[in-house]
């Protein structure tokens, strides 16, 4: 028997396509216990997509670090006059940019050292403790050597990035950054 349209000619009967009926039922489950079940295929898709996303993120980080400016391109900045910082004194300055706090320390009359002020553990501000002659991170009790920036105690994983300094007349000038420890005090 052919279906008849309500106000028109006869409509030919069309057999339902031979679509895999089980496929949509598998993907769209109405049973609650099946909704919690994750098939091996779904789990594999998830792992593949997650791995690809992590790979893309690592490639992005690699490219970003390769594009980072070399320290030869850092500007020279006058940090302080020699008589501005007394022996045992400290001066905070920004280098190489306005959002990069650094610490100039004068542990004795002839020595000037400067470091990035952010702790290498969780970026807390590092302060000079003159009684112990160390740079201290008060957040998690990390301690760094004033002379080299090396980690003395606590959770920091690496030394403080050091700022290269030179004397020009009666001024101390920042001329670059060194990521590792050094003994090039000015």
35 and 93 part of one domain: no
pLDDT at 150: 92
What is the per-residue pLDDT across 3-49, written as a single tens digit (0 to 9) for each? Answer: 555 565 665 555 555 555 666 666 666 666 666 677 888 889 999 99
For residue 73, the 8-state DSSP code is: G
pLDDT tens per residue across span 141-168: 899 998 899 999 989 989 999 999 999 9
Q: Give the model's pLDDT for residue 177.
A: 86
Same domain, 39 and 52: yes
Residue 70: per-residue pLDDT: 55
Within-domain flag for 129: yes
Do residues 79 and 44 share a domain? no
Residue 62 lies in a domain: yes
Distance in angstroms (rounded) separating the CA atoms of residues 145 and 152: 6
- pLDDT score recorded for residue 7: 63
User: Does residue 11 fall inside a structural domain?
Assistant: no
The number of folded domains in the chain is: 2
The rounded distance, in Å, linking the Cα atoms of 148 and 162 is: 8
Q: Are residues 104 and 167 in the same domain?
A: yes
Same domain (yes/no): 150, 90: yes
Digit-coded pLDDT (tens) for 167-185: 999 999 999 888 655 545 5
For residues 45 and 115, membership in a common domain is answered with no
Q: Report pLDDT for 60.
A: 94
pLDDT at 166: 92
Are 48 and 135 in the same domain? no
Residue 11 has a pLDDT of 58
Closest residue by Cα to residue 89 from 63, 70, 107 = 107
pLDDT of 123 reads 87
From CA 82, how far away is CA 89, in angstroms rounded? 11
Helix, coil or strand: residue 143: strand
Please check whether residue 5 lies inside any domain of the structure. Answer: no
Q: Is residue 8 domain-resident?
A: no
Domain-located, residue 168: yes
Is 9 within the bounds of a domain? Answer: no
Range of the domain at 25: 21-67
pLDDT score of 23: 66
pLDDT of 67-120, one tens digit each? 876 545 678 889 899 889 998 899 999 988 888 899 999 988 888 999 999 998
* Arithmetic mean of pLDDT, 119-148: 89
Same domain for 163 and 146? yes
Do 111 and 170 lie in one domain? The reply is yes
| pLDDT of 56 | 96
- Look up the CATH number of the domain holding residue 79: 2.102.10.10
- Whether the predicted model's global pTM rises above the 0.85 cut: no
């Amino acid at each position: 028997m052919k279906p008849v349209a309500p106000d028109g000619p006869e409509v030919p009967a069309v057999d339902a396509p031979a679509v895999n009926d089980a496929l949509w039922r598998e993907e769209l489950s109405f049973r609650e216990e099946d909704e919690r079940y994750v098939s091996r295929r779904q789990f594999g898709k998830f792992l593949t997509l997650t791995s690809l996303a992590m790979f893309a993120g690592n490639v992005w980080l690699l490219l970003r670090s390769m594009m980072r400016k070399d320290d030869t391109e850092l500007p020279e900045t006058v940090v302080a006059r020699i008589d501005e910082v007394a022996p045992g004194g400290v001066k905070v300055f920004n280098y190489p940019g306005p959002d990069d706090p650094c610490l100039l320390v004068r542990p004795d009359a002839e020595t000037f050292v400067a470091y990035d002020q952010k702790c290498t553990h969780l970026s807390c501000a590092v302060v000079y403790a003159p009684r112990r002659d160390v740079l201290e991170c008060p957040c998690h009790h990390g301690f760094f050597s004033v002379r080299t920036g090396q980690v003395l105690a606590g959770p920091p994983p690496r030394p403080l990035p050091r700022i290269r300094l030179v004397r020009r007349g009666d001024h101390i000038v920042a001329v670059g950054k060194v990521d590792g420890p050094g003994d090039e005090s000015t």
